[in-house]
Structure 1
Amino acid sequence: MPKTENQLLVIFGASGDLTARKLVPALYKLYKDDHLPEHFVVLGVARSFMTDEQFRNRVALESKYLDDSEAFIEAFSEKLFYEDLHKKYDVSYRELNERIQNLNTVYQCNNNFIFYLSTPPSLFEAIAKNLTAEGLNDERLGWKRLIVEKPFGYSLDTAKALNEGLHRYFKESQIYRIDHYLGKETVQNILVTRFANSVFEPLWNRDYIDHIEITNAESGGVESRGGYYDKSGALRDMFQSHLLQLVALIVMEPPLSADPEEIRNEKLKALKSLRMMTDPEVLERDTIRGQYLSSMIDGERVNGYREEEDVDPDSITETYAAVKFFVDNWRWADVPFYVRTAKRMPTKVTEVVIHFKSPHHQIFKNSNINKDNKLIIRIQPDEGILLKFGVKVPGQGFKVERGNLDFYYSGLGDSHIMEAYERLLLDAMQGDATLYARADEVEAAWRFTDPILNYWKSPKAKVYGYSAGVWGPEHANELIEGTHEWRNPGRNLADDPGYCVIDC
């Protein structure tokens, strides 16, 4: 395990929901599991007035997200402090710097500082500029790192402007763009499944793979995020960031080593190899956008998207997005990729499905089973891996049934699986940028996404309605070539009726 050096974590936007719901609970678990360095403190920074004691009560002592003995939580809370910025982020940070330097000296943090920007992106450059004005980007004494939350822009132009603004004050090596999806163990396991197993590595190409599908489904609606979501939509909110990162891990070539920059270099090449979709006919044929309508779910009426709080009643923002695309390189030539993301689906689930080609010579033609083998990598929930293959049914003849070979992370016994923010925060503390997006990766993802968004602005682009609680618009399966259809997963990984299970 890499050594975690003494350090100070400064959280901007510390009065917000993310700090109380995700960041402090993640730090608390790292504290419980003895992953924090001996000298470590957190300074919350925001525009709301709070004392240190009030901040500790809010995010730790009275938190519903921490569960343990009061004495243990109290000991952790003593590492938490708070500084008020007096209503504005774009002000002199002289007083803030004095507080940072005082905590650094008293708690022996060795001038190692992380600045976590849990704020709207519009404030990133101003905060970076004001930190720099106080010399808080200077690494001559101790390292300095900047963590920024998504969204990383709303288009290629805004992403470039955001990156250029940050690069005026911090080097790229200092900037960590956090994507909590990459912190999930099952996402990271895509690399291990591919590159550490001779069972799969030779098959991971166009010769053996028919097509690949990725589904990200949420059972809930936009809830309290209507104001943000109506300006964003499913393609910006999920596809451009989380799902294209998954695509990059599937598509990328083997890196020279497990070095963070080698992995990120290959992810960048993968994103650059996605075939650009600029032809209006292709965009019309190979993209689908939809919006959920009111429906009855479990005997209760749920709102349609246009009825949600802070949503324009005439909105055409998509809550369902499905895209078919290709990758222009030798490994993936002519292999279609199908990616969909949506709200108000029948269940909450994210998974990758690798569809292998059927054998060229079909011996058991009378079998009524769909004989293509599938490798399913479940990101959430019921995290695990499922391999579907044909097995002989006992008895005379050669009747073939589908069998499942499955592995579940829950079966690892006492092994603690870190939550995404735990893993990502610890990585940043240790200077490991493997699971963080680099500036050129972000821009490459936007370069692919922008033409789709621009086409969807045209009057020709349709928005299809779908009832809340179903798997999207009626014609969604028409996107997929041949006789294949979307795999509509259940909450449990092995959800087919009448299957044969061979446990790992």
Structure 2
Amino acid sequence: MPEEITTLLTFFGGTGDLAKRKLYPSTYNLFKKGFLQEHFAIVGASRQEMSNDEFRQMVLASLDGFIDDQANAEEFISHFYYIKQDITDKASYAEMLDLDNELDAKYGLKGNRIFYMSVAPRFFGTIAKYLKSEGLITENGEYNRLMIEKPFGSSYKTAEELQKELTEAFDDDQIYRIDHYLGKEMVQNIAPLRFGNPLIDAAWNKDYIENVQVTLSEVLGVEERAGYYDTAGALRDMIQNHTMQIIGWLAMEKPTDFSDKAVRAAKNTAFNALKIYSNDEVAENFVRGQYGESADGSQRKYLDEPDVPAGSQNNTFVAGKLQFDTPRWEGVPFYIRSGKRLAAKATRVDIVFKKSANIFGQGGEKLVNPVLSILIDPVGRVELTVNAKNVTDTFQTRPIELDWQVSEADKAVTPEPYERMIHDCMDGNGSNFADWNGVAVAWKFVDAIQDAWDKTPATFPNYVSGSMGPKESDELLAKDGNEWVFKG
């Protein structure tokens, strides 16, 4: 049985879709596994009128498909409490304080509190301010922590303003900025694959690596999200957060140990060496796109999607090259791309190693760059493409693929990303959360790209739905003598 975690967990936005789809099932899994036992309570806060019993029944319904033992589920939901609250009204926090103190005494929670903001980002600073001013942050607890959903700002300036608001109430090491991609099992496999294998660890540098590729491709279009997406695009929606956080694990220096402080310090060494581009350099190193119709006409172009403004210059595809000014990565391009309406759904990392010198003469004409591929979604898999001998009468090399895939048995017990993130926050492990320095660098990098694009209108659409993006994406790599490993 795991060591029990003692905590009071408050979900602002407690009746929302995210809470019902992800947060309550994830918390229930922690209960079933024994991380939560007797000394915990969960508060849901929302503007909706609801009794404790109605709230508990709502939570119970959200657990459908996760319940193995009804009595166990009933015991779990008995720890849930509801409070109707206007989070913008200072006075409404007095009732929450009374409830929190009551639950602290009832369940022996030792003043340990986690506040989870599953609300619109414009309310993050308001909630943090009132948690501080109205005394909900305890002085006697082992910890008080704040969990925040993305987006963390919409530019460096807005992110900095939000950071200032939050740090007036919480220390930065108390703030857990969620990027659920960091909770994915295969993203978490990057560290042991890299640092747990001396063969790979020793070759993780400019002497052996030709280039690094990160792909986050989607087959779906904007769907019903045009109101948000047209202000964000692929650049802000996928590059600034998910892609950059994966890059952090790939580009980081080797940490002194695997503590969260050491991991973050190692990532920040790389982030702080990321080259921020000028307008001319953006044109040289980044490509944007917007999807058109599919070849058969069955899928409409972005500009014809509901709620998309006429003539929108929004990007639905981004590809680019990152450069890190460190001894480890001097001259090694990191290629990234993300887009909607592409040929295949995939989140993957491809590490392209340098090609060996050919000592085999004509027999070595088919030597290829060895490639380590870490497939994150939709299947978890590790592939290693290496050179070997073909089965022929004469000596001839050929590429072969060594692979491992997550088994069904492993999948059955793999924690969901939100389950892992909530547990890590309860455990005080910030390794898989974005810290302020990483967020700030990512925004400065993305802002420079957006600034350049804002000054130079593009001709859209420029790629066919169902392709892997505009031809300029392939040309970007071809200029360096490289090509995308994943073809879709």
Aligned partners of 2:64, 2:235: CA distance in 1, in Å? 33
Partner of 2:368: 371
Residues 198, 220 of structure 1: CA spacing in aligned structure 2 closer, same or farther, 3 A cutoff?
same
Note if contact 1:252-1:266 (Cα within 8 Å) is conserved in structure 2: yes
Deviations 1:74-116 (A, max 9, x none): 3322222211114846554001111111222222222111000
Mapped contact 2:113–2:141 kept (Cα < 8 A) = no
Identity %: 37
**Letter of the structure 1 residue corresponding to residue 368 of structure 2:** K
Letter in 2 for 1:484: N
Alignment of 1:450-465 (within 5 A): 450-461=447-458, 463-465=460-462
Deviates more, 1:423-432 or 1:410-419: 410-419
Q: Is it true that 1:100 corresponds to 2:100 in the alignment?
A: yes
Q: Which of 358, 361, 372 is equivalent to 2:358?
A: 361
Task: Report the equivalent of 1:282.
Answer: 281
| TM-score after normalising by structure 1 | 0.91
Q: Which residue of 2 aligns with 1:271?
A: 271
Letter in 2 for 1:211: N
Aligned mates of 1:232, 1:243 — CA distance in 2: 15
**1:496 corresponding residue in structure 2:** none
Distance 1:223 1:56, change over 3 A: farther
Decide which moves more: 280-289 or 345-354.
Answer: 280-289
* Deviation readout 1:290-313 (Å, 9 max, x if unpaired): 11123267xx82232222233223
Distance of 1:370 and 1:324 partners within structure 2: 26
Deviation at 1:21, TM superposition (A): 0.9
Q: Distance in 1 between matches of 2:16 and 2:77?
A: 18
Question: Shift of residue 391 of structure 1?
Answer: 1.6
Query: Would the aligned equivalents of 2:25 and 2:62 in 1 still touch at CA under 8 Å?
Result: no
1:443-497 Cα offsets, whole Å, 9 max, x none, are 121122211011111135555521221111133210103443212355xxxxxxx
Q: What are the residue-to-residue correspondences of 1:122-141 with 2, within 5 Å?
A: 122-141=122-141
Q: 1:375 to 1:62 in 2, by over 3 A?
A: closer
Distance 2:3 2:43 in 1: 22
In structure 2, list runs of 5 or more residues that go unmatched: none
Report how far residue 205 of structure 1 moved: 0.8
Query: Any conservation in 2 of the 1:455–1:461 contact (CA below 8 Å)?
Result: no
Superimposed CA distance per residue, residues 383-417 of structure 1 (whole angstroms, 9 cap, x where no aligned partner): 12110011212231122222111122226658721
How many pairs are equivalent? 487
Give yes or no for contact 2:129–2:169 (8 Å, CA) kept in 1: yes
Cα distance change on mapping 1:185 and 1:470 into 2, 3 Å: same
Are the structure 2 counterparts of residues 249 and 2 from structure 1 closer, same or farther at C-alpha, using a change threshold of 3 Å? Answer: farther
1:487 corresponds to which residue?
485
Aligned partners of 2:43 and 2:81 also within 8 Å: yes
Gaps of 5+ in 1: 491-504
1-structure distance, mates of 2:68, 2:409: 23
SS in 2 for 1:395: coil
Please name the residue that 2:473 is paired with. Answer: 476
| 1:309-328 per-position Cα deviation (integer Å, ceiling 9, x unaligned) | 33223211111011112111
- Asked if the contact 1:57/1:63 (under 8 Å) is kept, the reply is no
Distance 1:40 1:364 in 2: 68
1:249 aligns with 2:246: no
Aligned to 2:405: 408
Partner SS state of residue 407, structure 1: strand
**Is the 8 Å Cα contact of residues 89 and 127 (structure 1) preserved in structure 2?**
no
Deviations 1:251-280 (A, max 9, x none): 1111111111111011111111111111x3
CA distance in 2, matches of 1:359, 1:90: 66
Give the alignment of 1:82-481 within 5 angstroms: 82-86=82-86, 88=88, 91-278=91-278, 280-295=279-294, 301-365=298-362, 369=366, 371-410=368-407, 413=410, 416-461=413-458, 463-480=460-477, 481=479
Q: How does 1:15-54 map to 2 (within 5 A)?
A: 15-54=15-54
SS in structure 2 of the partner of residue 138 of structure 1: coil
Whole-angstrom distance in 1 between the partners of 2:358 and 2:134: 70
Distance 2:165 2:343 in 1: 41
- Please say if residues 230 and 317 of structure 1, whose CA atoms lie closer than 8 Å, have aligned partners that are also in contact: yes
Separation in structure 1 between the aligned mates of residue 369 and residue 292 of structure 2, nearest angstrom: 35
Q: 1:447 to 1:4 in 2, by over 3 A?
A: farther
Structure 1: which amino acid aligns with 2:290? Q
Any idea what SS the aligned residue of 1:21 has? Answer: helix
RMSD (Å), alpha carbons:
2.2
**Structure 1 contact 91–130 (Cα < 8 Å) conserved:** no
Q: CA deviation at 1:285?
A: 2.2
TM-score w.r.t. the length of structure 2 is 0.94
Q: Which structure has more helix as a fraction of its residues?
A: 2
Question: Given the superposition, is the C-alpha separation of residues 4 and 313 from structure 1 closer, same or farther in structure 2, using an over 3 Å criterion?
Answer: farther
Further displaced range: 447-456 or 2-11: 2-11
Instruction: Between 20-29 and 361-370, report the one with greater CA deviation.
Output: 361-370
Q: Deviations over 1:51-84 (max 9, x none)?
A: 2222223232365564545444333222222111
CA shift in 2, pair 1:252/1:86, >3 Å: closer
Cα gap change, 1:121/1:345 in structure 2, threshold over 3 Å: closer, same or farther?
A: same
Q: Which residue number corresponds to residue 80 of structure 1?
A: 80
